[in-house]
Amino acid sequence: MDNDRIDQIIDKHGTEPSSLIQVMLEIQSENNWLPKAALDRISERLDVPLARILHIATFYKAFSLVPKGRHGIHICVGTACHVRGASRILDTVQTKTGIKPGETDLDLKFSLEVVNCLGCCALGPVMEIDGKTHGKMTPGETAEVLKNYE
């Protein structure tokens, strides 16, 4: 992400320190992560110490300081999903993508996370990809859904 694009985002939200999180969210949304150069530019333009920006970036799960895949996969491992076979769904995703929870594949196609609840317990086991919920998953259905994102 170049400085011109970062400046456009900052100008859109304003150069006040109170715009910090909105600027960070938009850069994260466009880039799938927050590169160090972008954080430096935000610090300079908003007159916010880099340490403060890094504190915010590491506090909120919405932000990532490492590259993420184009498709974010979330597997619910909460109680309702767990008892309905979430571990089999997770195993299938790991086998098909070659990554473990917290990792991103080398092609930056997929990032995998486990979560404690996606808020749709009646649909368990649940997998979410790019915000789209897939419920009552089986290992076979999981493999089929992943094919749609390749």
Domains of the chain: 3-59 (no CATH), 71-147 (3.40.30.10)
Q: Which residue has the tokens 């008892």?
A: 83
Closest CA to 96 of 130, 141, 136: 141
Q: For residue 52, what are the contacts with CB-CB under 8 A and spacing of at least 6?
A: none
Q: In the structure, what pLDDT confidence band is assigned to residue 1 with cuts at 50, 70 and 90?
A: confident
Distance CA 4, CA 86 (A): 44
Kindly state the average pLDDT of the residues 47-55.
Answer: 97
Q: Which residue has the tokens 């850069």?
A: 27
Distance CA 94, CA 72 (A): 13
Distance CA 80, CA 101 (A): 19
Distance CA 48, CA 45 (A): 8
pLDDT in tens, 56-91: 999 998 899 999 999 999 999 999 999 999 999 999
**DSSP result, 23-67:** HHHHHHHHHSS--HHHHHHHHHHHT--HHHHHHHHHHSTT--SS-
Look at residue 14 in the predicted model and tell me its pLDDT: 92
Q: In the structure, what pLDDT confidence band is assigned to residue 42 with cuts at 50, 70 and 90?
A: very high
